[in-house]
Each structure stands twice: as structure tokens, then as C-alpha cells.
Chains A and B, each alone.
Chain A
Amino acid sequence: MAEPGDDERRTGRLAALAALTLVLIVPPLLSQFDRMERVFDVPVIWVYLYLVWAVVIGLIAVIGGRPR
């Protein structure tokens, strides 16, 4: 079992990540990418949301997976 301190730190980091995610996926930040433009020919908002999604998943895996 991990140390209680570790556990708390992990919980805190994950909660902070959740807060960050929330900020990223709601207006006004979201609105910045909500436009008719395309990058690499694909919709900006589509790329943006999946990018955020993928990064957050990666961070969860990193923060949650590592004991320290």
C-alpha cells in the first residue's frame, strides 16, 4: 500500500486535473476554438477536443499509475 501522504497527493493532483479539464472543455476557452476554420483540413474544434481528451487521459494514466 502506498503511504497515506502519497495517496492524498495523488487524489489532489487528479482533482486539479479534473478542474483543468473542466476549464478546457467549457466556454470561454472552448469558444476560442469554436470557429469554422480547419487545421490540416479537419475542424479545429474536433482536433481541439480530442487533443484535450487524449492529453488528459495521458495525464490520468501518469498521475494515477505512478506510486510517487
Chain B
Amino acid sequence: MLLQTWVIVAVSVVYLGLLFAVAFFADRRADAGRSMVNKASVYALSLAVYETAWGFYGNVGTAASSGVGFLSVYLGPLLMFSLGWLLLRRIIRVSRRHRITSLADFVSARYGKSAALGGLVTIIAVIGIVPYISLQLKAISNTFEVIRRHPDTTGAADLSHVPLFQDTGFYVALLLAAFTILFGTRHLDATERHEGVVAAIAFESVVKLVMFLSVGVFVTFWIFDGFGDLFSQAHGAGLSQLFSLRDHTSTGTWIWLNVLSMLAIVLLPRQWQMLVVENVDERHLKRAMWLFPLYLLAITFFVLPIAAGGLLLFGKSVDADTYVLTLPLAEGPQALALLVFIGGISAGTSMIIVETIALSTMVSNSLVMPLLLRGKSRLAQQGDLSGLVLGIRRVTIVLILLLGYGYFRLAGEGPALGSIGTVSFAAVAQFAPAILGGLFWKGGTRRGVLVGLVGGFAVWAYTLLMPNFADAGLLPVSFLDHGPLGIEWLRPQQLFGLGGMDPISHAMFWSALLNIGGYVVVSLAERPSAAEGAQAVQFVDVLTEPVRERRWQVRTTVGELRTLLERFLGRGGAQRVLRTYPEGKPGAPEAEAAPELVHHVEAQLAGSIGAASARLAVDAVAGEEHFGTDEVMEMIGEASQRVELVRGRLRLLFDATGGIGTTLDVTRTAEELAQVAVPRFADYVTVELAEPVLRGDEPGVEPAVGSGGSTTMRRTAFSGVRQDPPLFPLGDRITFVPASPPARTIESGQAVLVPRLVQSQGWREVDPERAERVLEFGIHSLITAPLIARGVLLGVVNFWRSDKPEPFEDDDLSLAAELAARAAVSLDNARRYTREHGMAVTLQRSLLPRAMPAQNAVEVASRYLPAQEGVGGDWFDVIPLPGARVALVIGDVVGHGLHAAATMGRLQTAERNFSSLDLPPDEILGHLDELVTRIDQDAIAAGDETTITGATCLYAVYDSVSRNCSIARAGHPAPALVHPDGRVEFLEVPSGLPLGIGGLPFESAELELPEGSRLVLFTDGLVERRNQDIDTGLRMLRETLAHAAQSPDQTCDAVLDTLLPELQSDDIALLVARTKVLDASHVAEWDVESDPAAVRHVRAAVSRQLETWGLEELVETTELILSELITNALRHGAGPINVRLLRDRSLICEVSDQSSTSPHLRYAATTDEGGRGLFLVAQFAERWGTRYTKDGKVIWAEQAAPELPGG
């Protein structure tokens, strides 16, 4: 008995051993450099992994019930291969160029190297394929049972209850896991090719073809008498299903199966593995394009005859799926049956081996590794990772096989497993929009694929997988018939009530609608990102575009790259990769790696661990990828991206031009710089300025360098998307150590880019503890640019990014530098203005009286407000005059700026000097007029263009004894007088011409002011506006004064509150004086007759008066002074003589007469008789002097006196 169990087992083991041998031999040959699989025919044969045990046995079963309907699964590949040159070649070339090693990798790489997409594709593939694997295990297990039980016929029921450890499927699964691990995961290689496996698969393809053809020939020509006989009998037996298609296969199913198989021939993971990954030479495709369809033709040729033979011989008594085996068992040599069994095993094992290799690559490269490498995990820094990758794959292989076996046990018998092949086809067909669309349409986006895939897959699971579960008894059948929870319109096979279709057409309609619809609609709704756009061009234009590697702009060393390679590929692998670097020697380990080398390494690594993982791994050592704008432009092909970018930058620069430098304030300008770039360019901006700049000083050509080469600046401005980053606060003095980016930018004068702050040691050194907090806060990238104007460094500006995930790149550098350059000019302008303005204000303030001189005649308050655009020429003065009088002056030099301030200074000095002459106001103005005229003439003579065009002035003298006020003005606004009762009048003072014009003499107005009157002097800046009539200003002033409180200070405040304009274009001076009156008891007056004896009376009266005032100690000197002055007056003067004593802050003695001759102080010679009088007066008095009045002159002398009680 040939077919004893041990024989079958032995033959099977020997066969698998043979397979091992072939694979081993091929691997040895490959290692020796003599590849066996580098042949077009081997490539074509290896594609025949498409023919699984499902096809090997099941086709006959399908044919027995529905004739040639099974051929749809083989005609689709024919269609696809005739499109091979158009489609498959592109896929192969793209994959070769990008080192793509799986379907998931392809999708991920096409859409911007998205790890999420790779993971999703992997998950879909695993879910879709695992039941398909269980179908193979079932076929092997069942046929083993059939052949073992021979000659008993084996019914379907017998096959469903095989104990686990007697189950061939279980052992086959374990054996295949071993084979796959041995040959599929021998080592990690950049090309991810498995020559041993390919050779074994090609060998198996030959085996299964030969076995099937043998059975076909045996049935047709041995059992029957050729095709004619066979089909004549069949026709006679009424087996109509063999002759017609339409009765058993709907048109929809036929077409959909054609489409599905057309896609599956590429998109099944095992097909992708053989077709794309294991392809050695693109030209092999040319032969495979006809040889592979021919293979399919050959292996299916006898399906219909065998089905006819089986039906004729067995009818329904034997499962049609086993005709291939049972026909030789029943009718022929048992050896043939054994061969057929071997053919079936080879079909099943080849499928399982390749499928698990492909899936394990996908799981490890697109699912597990991206997760492990995510977030810059420590893993990326670890030592040898190749063991880890291989380990993941081995575990995956075992898991997938056990899953497949588990489903086989679970689903058991029944139609469920038989139809699972189609279900798997439908699953992988979901990848078609993403892959085929991605090859021909540049507009597809990552999100589009994500939406399409998820939608299509969900529909697939609901409309195909769930019913399959239901058929298998894993779900209640009512789920199919009445929908979940009895909701009819959710019935999986009549979704939304769409009935009248077979399940496949129905499922494909819905899933294609969602998949293609989602992909197209979402893709069209958004713009592909730069990375997606770049990859799109690489994929779509793969045939036309010359090989153009992307340039990398990353910083890493050759040594780091080598270490990275060693981690994943081992030492030998790393050496191989570096040896194959096309540009020659990569250079010394510490040398900076060329961008091409980085790209080379990533591409090679992508071959081992997938594109997304390789990107992450290289990123971990080399920093993230930067597309230079130029490259983006080249890669995208369309300029739109670039245009958008440039437009954004232009807009930013435009806004910067308008937004920076709106004022002439240094700090404000710095703040404007900080604000304009947030949030469009940076998330935070800080500006540091050298301290002299803040004061308006020249910062010096050399930067302010502190000890150890560090620089100190003050943080002046901040702007950010949030207000609380742990950066240095405003106002801090920051010392930049030499290695820090600001110090580098100061030294080089160039903007400095720090794409990753983490890596900047110099930056941390400035304040390590704060740096940590800044990093924790999320700030990750920095550009520092110098603020340089006229070659002088003013400060630095820092642009920080935190919320924007992408770091600054080289292109941002120029934008930052441009922004800084523009801002620097504005800053410098503001600085110069600050300096000039500061100088003028200082000058002016130094000229104005800081504290009012002590006097009792009036109570004064004053205000001076410089114009916003600069200082002006306003001034005022309060000058105490002898005789308890005071002079009040206010003036205005036309124009602004230093020149006006300087002229004002000269006029003020002159006015003070003139006032000491104690001249009447009109005369003083006359002198000033003369002075201004002379200044102008001098200026014109010197060729100075900026001559003053005039000045106005008002001079008032108030006598607190007589309450008399004498006022003259030269073109100045008339003063306001507020009477004690609140009545306001503008004094009628002859206007006079402005100073420097000459002409008519000035006139003084005399008036008597009641005590407590307020005299308000002001310059035109208070009442004049560009947009307002002066009368309006005066009216407002009048109203304000009428209601203002009494004190001069309060009056000043009230006036300014009301009249101060928002934009003060002219400077404003305001002087308010409230008159006081010297008490009559403090004045004593005597007329002196022209009689020397009268002097004695006066002396007596004076001494009495002094005693009354309590000034006894002054009696003697006062008598002496008065006798001298009276004697002088009697001797030299004329007319009546008058003596006056004023008890004010001091004691003032005045002697007046009607002569105008001025006494002179003389140093009398010792022999001189007279001439000692005034000398004595000067000795005793603190001050003395003469003043002229209308009626003559007054000689006065002041002596210090104790303060008046309560004065």
C-alpha cells in the first residue's frame, strides 16, 4: 500500500527538504555572486506564486459548478500584464529608486513618508490576508486527510473534526514558519531580496504546473478519449454549467472579479514581493509580461476537462474541490495522486512563505519600527538594532501563521473558507486608488489616502468580511438577513437598501465609491504639503525625470552615519552601504557628511526598515530635513508653493516697513520689530539693545565687550503668542557668553540659525537653568540677527519658535536678517533723535528757572511743556526787583530745535542783565529788540541761513507797595488778568512789533492791580492750534480761568488740563502770578526839606520807626546810610527829597529826588574830603543801586533783616 500515512508524511518532508535545499543552494550562489534568480524566466516563474492551493484544487470545484467562471481570476492578470510596461515598470522603478520594500512602504513613501499610512496599509493587509493563509492550510490539511483515508471516500463532515495534534495544517504551519524564518529573515539587507526564497518559489511553480498538467493529461487522455470525447459525454450528461457562463456567473461578478484579480496580481503582498521587491532587473518584466500569462493559461487549461471528468465519474458523491486528487486516486496510479498532493503542497507553501515574508516586512518596517522610533526614543540611540528588526519579523511570521491556523480552526468547514480568496482580493484592491492614483496623479494627499483607505476598508469589512464570519458561524445569520439589530437598511449585503446585486459587486461598488471618492475629494480639498509634493513628482515623473536625488541640508558627520548604519545593518552591512556610495569615498569619520551621502544612507536604510522608519532614524542623528526653497521649487515643479512662500515673505517685509519706525522712540521701535514678526514668522521675538543706544548715545563701533569676550545688552522688547515664556524678562541685563548665538551674531555681523536649541551648547551657557525651562516650555528653534546700522551694532533680535513645529531653516535666515536690517535703520534714527531731543531739552531746561527766586511781591507758578516734535524757544522768568517789586517775563523765539533754544538762551541772559538796570519794561524791550537785530545781522554776515525770523516777549513789573503794574510787550499775546472776584480780562497792552523787526518804540501800559489778582502770562502754544482759531483758544482760556481755583498752581493745572492739545506741535510756557501787597504798616515815608537840619528829624523818625518794627540793631547803620544818601541828594540832587523805608524780606531804604544824575561809587583818596558817602553805603548795605523813575531817580540800599513774623 503506497499511500500509508508515513509514506505521505515522508514524501512531504522530503519535498520540503528539497525546497530547503534549493533555497539554501540559491542563497549560497547569491553570496558567491553568481545569482540564480537573475533570469527573466525565473522571475516570471516566481510570479506564479499567484497560483495557490486554492486555485490548484478550488478551480476545478468552481468549474464543476459554474464552468469557465473561474477564469475571471486569471484573465485579470492578463490585462494587468499587458499594461505592465505602462504600470508595473513605473512601480518597479519607483521602488528601486526609493528602496521601497513593501506595499505599505510604497504608500507611505508616496504620500510624504507618512508613518500613519504605512501602518494603516499594514493593518489592512494583515486583516485581509490572514484568512487567505488559513485557506491554504485548510487545503493542505484536507487533501492530506483525503489521501490518508483512501480508499474510504472522505466527506466534508469528516474533515471538520480533526484533533489539533493530528492536524496536518498545524504541523505544516510550524514547518513553514521555520522555513520562512530561515530563508526570509536570514539577515537584514538593504535590498531586502531573498534569492533563496525566489529560487524555491520558482521551483515550486514548476512542480505545481507539472503536477497539474499531469493530472489534466491523465484525465483527458487516460480516463477519457481526448477533449472531444470528454465534452461530448458531458454534453450528453446535461452538464450545462460547463458550457455556459451566464447561467452561473453574473456579468457583474465576472467583471468585478476580472478587475479584482487584475489589481490583486500587483497588490497582494506576495505578488508585490515577487513582482517589485524581488525584481532584479527591470528588463525581466518584458519576458514576464507574456510568460506569466502563458503559465496561467497552461495551469488552468485542464481545469474544465478535469471538472467535466470528475462530474461524469463521481457526480455529487465527491467534493468537487478534491477532484484533482480523487480522480487519480480512483482511476490511476497512486504515485500520480501522491504527485498531485505534492503539487498542492507546493502551491500552498509557496503562497504562505512569500505572503508571510511580505507581511512581516510590512509589520516590522511600517508598523512596529515607526512606533519604536517615534518621539526620538532612546531606541534610535541604541546599539545594534538589526537583531531587533529581525526579531520583530520572526515573531510576526509565527504570529501570522498561528493566526491563519486559528482562523482555519475557527471557521472550520463550509463555504466560508472557500470564498475567502475573493474577499482577500477585495481587501487588497482597497490599495489601488492610493497606489495607482499616486503613480499618475500628483494631487493626491496623505489625508486623502487616509480617508479613502479607512472608508473603503470599513465598507469591505462590513459587506464582505462580516458576512463571511456569519457564514462561518462566528456571527448570527440574522445579521445577514435582517441587518444588525434588525435594522434592514444596514444589511451588509444590501447596504442602504441597494439590492439586486451579487455580494461582490455590491461590496465593491460601496467600497470603491468611498475609497476613490474620499481619496479624490479630500485630496482636491487641500493642497499637498511640500514633502508630499516632492514625493509626488518623484513618483509620477519617475520615467521621464532623470535621476535627481534630493539634496539634504543637514548637519552630521560621516562617523555618525556609520554608527547609525551599524545599528541597523551590522558592521558588515554598514561597510557595504558606504562602499556603494556612488560619489566615491565618504570621508573621515569626523568630516561633515555630504548631503548626497546622507541621502544615500537614508535610501539604503529605507531598504531595510522602510522609508518612514529610515526617515525617523536619520532625523535622529542628522536633524530634520530642510527643503531649501530652490529645491522645493525644483521638486514640486510648479512654482505655486514658492510663489506663496515668497508672497508671504514680501507681505511680512512690507508690513515691517510700514510697522517699524512709526515713532522716533527707541523702545517703541524695538517693540514694533518684535510685534511685526509674531506670529507669522516666529512665536516669540525678543530684542536686546546696547545700553548706550537706549540713552540715545552712539554705541561705539566696537561692541561693548565685557570680561572674557562676553557682551551685555538689555532686553528691551518682547512679543509672543503667549505672554509667559521663561525667557529673560524685559529690562534684564543679559550677558552673552562668547559661544552663544547672539555673541556669534555680534562677532560675525551675520544672522545665526539654531534649528534645534537642544543642540546649542553656547545658548545654554548663558543661563543653563533658564535654558532648561525654555526648552521645557517648548521653544525649540532660534534665529538671532544683528541690528546693524551704518556699520554700528545697536543690538540683536531673537526669533524663537515653539508652537510652529518646523524649525527655522536657512531660508528664514535671510528674511530675519532683512527684517533686522530694516528695523536697525529705524532704531538708529530713533536713537539719534533721542540724543538730539535730549540735548535740546537739557539745554532748554538749564535755561529756565528751576526754582523761583524768593520774593514777596507775587506768588507764582509756572509750567513749561516742550513740543513733541522737539524743543522750542519759549522761556519765562521771574526776577525780584528792588523795592519789593518783581519783574515777570515771558518770551518765545520763533521756530523749534537747538537753534531756537540757543537763541532763547541768549535773549534770556540779556533780559536778565537789562533787568538789573531796573529799566522800565518798554526800554528793556527796546534793548532786546536791538540785540535780536544785531544777532540776525551777525548771522547773515556769517552766511548762516538759519537766522531767527523773530521773537516775541512780554515784560511786566509789579510793585507790591503801590500795586502798580507796568507791562510792555513785543508782539506777544496779551496776558490775562483774573480779578479777585473771578472776572477775567485780557489786558489792553499796546502790542508792539516782535523783536528783531525794529521800528516803533515799545510802549508800557500802567495799571493798578487789586490784591489777589492773577496775572496769567502764556505763549501762543497754549492757545494756538493748527486746526483752531486763536480766538477759540482764548475763549477757552478765559472760561477756564474764570472757574479755576485761586492758587497759581491750581490755575496752571486747570489751564493745562483744558487747553493742552493731544498732539502738541508747539511748546508751551505758562506763568501765573498772584499779586500781593506789602502791608502799609511796613512802609514808612518822609519828605525831607532842603535843609541840612532836616536830616536830623528824619534820623530820629527813622530810629523810632525801626524800634517799632523791632529792628533796633539796624538803627545805627540805617541812620548812617540814610544820612549819607540824604546828604548826597541835598548836595547833588534837585527838587523835593523823599525817604522811604520798606520792611519786607529785608530792610530797604530808599531816597528819591528829581535829578537824573547817577551817583558813582568812588574809592576816595585819603586826602579827599568828600566822596566817601556811597562807599560807606556799599559797606553797610547788602545791595544798593539806583533806579530811574518818571520823576527822577531813587537810590536804594538793602540790609538783611530778620524774617517778618508770619511773612
B85 contacts A36, C-beta separation under 8 Å: no
* Shortest Cβ gap from A63 to chain B (Å): 9
**Interface residue from A30, A45, A60 paired with B290 (Cβ < 8 Å):** A60
**Interface residue from A15, A41, A54 paired with B83 (Cβ < 8 Å):** A15
Within 8 A of B (CB), among A35-50: 35-38, 40-46, 49-50
B244 contacts A45, C-beta separation under 8 Å: yes
A53 contacts B293, C-beta separation under 8 Å: yes
* Shortest Cβ gap from A38 to chain B (Å): 6
| Cα–Cα distance between A10 and B287 once the two chains are bound (Å) | 14
**Interface residue from B78, B85, B242 paired with A53 (Cβ < 8 Å):** B78
Query: Which residues on A sit within 8 Å (CB–CB) of B314?
Result: none
B240 contacts A36, C-beta separation under 8 Å: yes
Instruction: Tell yes or no: B79 within 8 A of A by CB.
Output: yes
Most chain A Cβ neighbours within 10 Å, of B81, B83, B243, B294: B243
**Interface residue from A34, A42, A49 paired with B71 (Cβ < 8 Å):** A49
B84 contacts A34, C-beta separation under 8 Å: no
**Interface residue from B71, B251, B286, B301 paired with A64 (Cβ < 8 Å):** B286
A38 contacts B243, C-beta separation under 8 Å: yes
* Shortest Cβ gap from A16 to chain B (Å): 9
Query: Which residues on A sit within 8 Å (CB–CB) of B286?
Result: 64-65
| Cα–Cα distance between A10 and B285 once the two chains are bound (Å) | 14
B293 contacts A10, C-beta separation under 8 Å: no
* Shortest Cβ gap from B1199 to chain A (Å): 120
A45 contacts B243, C-beta separation under 8 Å: yes
A50 contacts B79, C-beta separation under 8 Å: no
* Chain B minimum-CB-distance residue to A10: B85
Count of A-B contacts judged by CB separation below 8 Å: 109
A31 contacts B246, C-beta separation under 8 Å: yes
Instruction: Tell yes or no: B228 within 8 A of A by CB.
Output: yes
Query: Which residues on A sit within 8 Å (CB–CB) of B75?
Result: 21, 25, 49, 53
B78 contacts A36, C-beta separation under 8 Å: no
Query: Which residues on A sit within 8 Å (CB–CB) of B83?
Result: 14-15, 18
B85 contacts A42, C-beta separation under 8 Å: no
Contact with A along B284-299 (1 / 0, CB 8 A): 0011011001100100
* Chain B minimum-CB-distance residue to A22: B79
A64 contacts B289, C-beta separation under 8 Å: yes
Chain A interface mostly: helix
A14-B83, A49-B75, A60-B81 known; A35-B231 Cβ under 8 A: no
Interface size, chain B (Cβ < 8 Å): 37
Instruction: Tell yes or no: A61 within 8 A of B by CB.
Output: yes
Query: Which residues on B sit within 8 Å (CB–CB) of A37?
Result: 243
Instruction: Tell yes or no: B68 within 8 A of A by CB.
Output: yes
Most chain A Cβ neighbours within 10 Å, of B78, B82, B229, B289: B82
| Cα–Cα distance between A44 and B79 once the two chains are bound (Å) | 22
A25 contacts B258, C-beta separation under 8 Å: yes
Instruction: Tell yes or no: B1201 within 8 A of A by CB.
Output: no
Within 8 A of B (CB), among A1-59: 10-11, 14-15, 17-18, 21-22, 25-27, 30-31, 34-38, 40-46, 49-50, 53-54, 56-58
A14-B83, A22-B79, A49-B75 known; A43-B243 Cβ under 8 A: yes
| Cα–Cα distance between A68 and B296 once the two chains are bound (Å) | 27
Query: Which residues on B sit within 8 Å (CB–CB) of A58?
Result: 290
Instruction: Tell yes or no: B955 within 8 A of A by CB.
Output: no
**Interface residue from B86, B289, B304 paired with A43 (Cβ < 8 Å):** B304
A30 contacts B78, C-beta separation under 8 Å: no
B86 contacts A11, C-beta separation under 8 Å: yes
| Cα–Cα distance between A61 and B229 once the two chains are bound (Å) | 33
A61 contacts B290, C-beta separation under 8 Å: yes
Query: Which residues on A sit within 8 Å (CB–CB) of B229?
Result: 41
Instruction: Tell yes or no: B227 within 8 A of A by CB.
Output: yes
* Shortest Cβ gap from A50 to chain B (Å): 7
A17 contacts B82, C-beta separation under 8 Å: yes
| Cα–Cα distance between A31 and B83 once the two chains are bound (Å) | 25
* Shortest Cβ gap from B610 to chain A (Å): 30
A31-B246, A46-B68 known; A41-B78 Cβ under 8 A: no
| Cα–Cα distance between A17 and B80 once the two chains are bound (Å) | 11
| Cα–Cα distance between A37 and B290 once the two chains are bound (Å) | 30
* Shortest Cβ gap from B587 to chain A (Å): 33
| Cα–Cα distance between A31 and B251 once the two chains are bound (Å) | 10
**Interface residue from B85, B245, B258 paired with A34 (Cβ < 8 Å):** B245
B254 contacts A60, C-beta separation under 8 Å: no
| Cα–Cα distance between A10 and B84 once the two chains are bound (Å) | 11
| Cα–Cα distance between A11 and B229 once the two chains are bound (Å) | 43
**Interface residue from A17, A43, A64 paired with B231 (Cβ < 8 Å):** A43
Query: Which residues on B sit within 8 Å (CB–CB) of A60?
Result: 81-82, 289-290, 293
A34-B246, A50-B297, A60-B289 known; A42-B231 Cβ under 8 A: yes
**Interface residue from A10, A15, A36, A57 paired with B244 (Cβ < 8 Å):** A36
Query: Which residues on B sit within 8 Å (CB–CB) of A30?
Result: 245, 254
Instruction: Tell yes or no: B866 within 8 A of A by CB.
Output: no
B85 contacts A11, C-beta separation under 8 Å: yes
A57 contacts B290, C-beta separation under 8 Å: yes
B290 contacts A43, C-beta separation under 8 Å: no
* Chain B minimum-CB-distance residue to A28: B251
* Shortest Cβ gap from B245 to chain A (Å): 5
B82 contacts A41, C-beta separation under 8 Å: no
Query: Which residues on B sit within 8 Å (CB–CB) of A56?
Result: 78, 82, 293
B82 contacts A18, C-beta separation under 8 Å: yes
Query: Which residues on A sit within 8 Å (CB–CB) of B71?
Result: 49
Instruction: Tell yes or no: B232 within 8 A of A by CB.
Output: yes
Query: Which residues on B sit within 8 Å (CB–CB) of A34?
Result: 244-246
| Cα–Cα distance between A30 and B227 once the two chains are bound (Å) | 22
* Shortest Cβ gap from B60 to chain A (Å): 14
| Cα–Cα distance between A17 and B817 once the two chains are bound (Å) | 60
* Chain B minimum-CB-distance residue to A1: B283
**Interface residue from B82, B84, B287 paired with A21 (Cβ < 8 Å):** B82
Instruction: Tell yes or no: B21 within 8 A of A by CB.
Output: no
A14-B86, A45-B245 known; A27-B251 Cβ under 8 A: yes
* Shortest Cβ gap from B513 to chain A (Å): 21
| Cα–Cα distance between A44 and B67 once the two chains are bound (Å) | 12
B304 contacts A46, C-beta separation under 8 Å: yes
A45-B67, A61-B290 known; A54-B79 Cβ under 8 A: no
Most chain B Cβ neighbours within 10 Å, of A44, A46, A49, A65: A46
| Cα–Cα distance between A49 and B243 once the two chains are bound (Å) | 12
* Shortest Cβ gap from B48 to chain A (Å): 15
A64 contacts B85, C-beta separation under 8 Å: yes
Query: Which residues on B sit within 8 Å (CB–CB) of A65?
Result: 286-287, 290
Query: Which residues on B sit within 8 Å (CB–CB) of A27?
Result: 251, 254
Query: Which residues on A sit within 8 Å (CB–CB) of B1162?
Result: none
A57 contacts B294, C-beta separation under 8 Å: yes
Within 8 A of A (CB), among B271-292: 286-287, 289-290
| Cα–Cα distance between A6 and B1183 once the two chains are bound (Å) | 121
Query: Which residues on A sit within 8 Å (CB–CB) of B81?
Result: 60
B228 contacts A40, C-beta separation under 8 Å: yes
Query: Which residues on A sit within 8 Å (CB–CB) of B68?
Result: 43, 45-46, 49
Q: Apart from A17-B82, A45-B67, what are 20 other A-B pairs with CB-CB below 8 Å?
A: A14-B82, A14-B83, A15-B83, A15-B86, A21-B75, A26-B255, A35-B244, A36-B240, A42-B231, A43-B231, A46-B304, A49-B75, A50-B297, A50-B301, A53-B75, A53-B78, A57-B78, A57-B293, A58-B290, A61-B289
Give the A-binding residues of B (Cβ under 8 A).
Answer: 67-68, 71, 75, 78-79, 81-86, 227-229, 231-232, 235, 240, 242-246, 251, 254-255, 258, 286-287, 289-290, 293-294, 297, 301, 304
Give the B-binding residues of A (Cβ under 8 A).
Answer: 10-11, 14-15, 17-18, 21-22, 25-27, 30-31, 34-38, 40-46, 49-50, 53-54, 56-58, 60-61, 64-65
List 26 contacting pairs A-B, 8 Å CB cutoff, sorted by A: A10-B85, A14-B84, A14-B289, A22-B79, A25-B79, A26-B251, A27-B254, A34-B244, A37-B243, A38-B235, A41-B231, A43-B242, A43-B304, A45-B68, A45-B243, A46-B243, A53-B293, A57-B290, A57-B297, A60-B82, A60-B289, A60-B290, A61-B290, A64-B85, A64-B286, A64-B290
A-B pairs with the 5 shortest C-beta distances?
A41-B228, A61-B290, A18-B82, A60-B290, A43-B243
